Structure 1
Amino acid sequence: MNRAQLIDKLKEQLAQLEQEVLRHDAALAPQQRKLIQDVERFNDGLFIQSGAQLAPCIGQIAKDIKQLEQRLALGLSAATIVASCERIQDRFTAVKRALTTTGINLKSATQARQSARNRSHQRQKQAHNSSGFDWIAAGVMQNSHQLYEELNKHLNWARKIESKIAQLETGLDNCHSADKIKLQNEILLMHRRLGKCRQAISYIEDRIQAFERPYQSQNR
């Protein structure tokens, strides 16, 4: 095979690969591209590329073929030409392998993300159980809608307790001295309940922020 035939064969091979890559990239859904956008698909030194789409590789192989064509025209040593050809073939092989492993990368990334979510939920559950608010159902901590319902419930309780305290304190001024100690103790109990309720409100508000933060960052 002469020089011209070698270059023509490589260009033909690249054109066929380009069509496969274009079909591959077009078939990827936006969420799939996002899922493995930071995944390194190739060994260092083969391509400057990461993520799902493989189209950037075609331009880099084309550049190698152009460089080989120039080296052939300059009559460089056989060893140099062979090294260039081997590098081009290594790149062809790597892209073809990547075409067949995208599904594996997607599945692996999906499982890794789910595992991270499970670990996060487990940490939240453990933190919840040791927070002193384990009387709030742990399942509530995993659902944004239920968190807001729980928050509204505690806000209503706080308002009712505040109203009860105001009522008791009004009655304190008008009650007989014999009943004051009992009434004062009841007011103290109501203040304790109010304090616990406010702590729970702050805790639930923190859980809402922690729950929504990942979704806010994904939508930026």
Structure 2
Amino acid sequence: MARADALSRLKQQVQRLRHDADQFDKAKWFAKNRYMQNQHALFERSVFNTRSMQLLDYVDEVEQQLERLGRSELQAARHQYRFALTQLSEQIEAIVKVLKATPVWEKENTPSSRARKYQKAVQQLIQPTSELYQELAKNHEFERRLELMISERQQLLHKAQGEQAGQLNKEILALHARLGRCRKAIGACEERIQYAEKQQAR
């Protein structure tokens, strides 16, 4: 799915989230809860910048984040885009958790099925590149370990003689071959990521 289509679908889901949040606020769920009456915000600052006891105010922040995701300059900054997307996912999940604790969704669907719809909409933006980034991270870690093994054997080789030196040379050559294959895999993975992100950006 193209990134623009995925963003459009997520915006539709957030519109439904706005409707649910509006019902939540109108029901005044915290009116009889003394603990919540003494609070100044529904969520931690690490999740939302908004400080409010109205759920709609947090949906406003989610929509602002969605608008940022749609801007071309943010999409061009790959890592910044993924960070913003991860933050958006956390914000939506936080709002959903609050709604799941109330009967707001009982008329249409079970809370779990509605929650899955929001999660699916976010995942369509994250995939397929998240799996590719995980693969790339594993390859880089494998590369690091191979480089360390080569360095350790080279240090031993300086002190080795005779048969031991010959064995270490063989091991170093074998490790270099594995390192070459690993770096080739890294290059191929990076190309797949670039292709996937170009497809999403269309």
Aligning the two structures, in what range does the TM-score lie when normalised by the shorter sequence? 0.3 to 0.5
* TM-score, length basis structure 1: 0.40
Q: Larger C-alpha radius of gyration, 1 or 2?
A: 1
* TM-score, length basis structure 2: 0.43
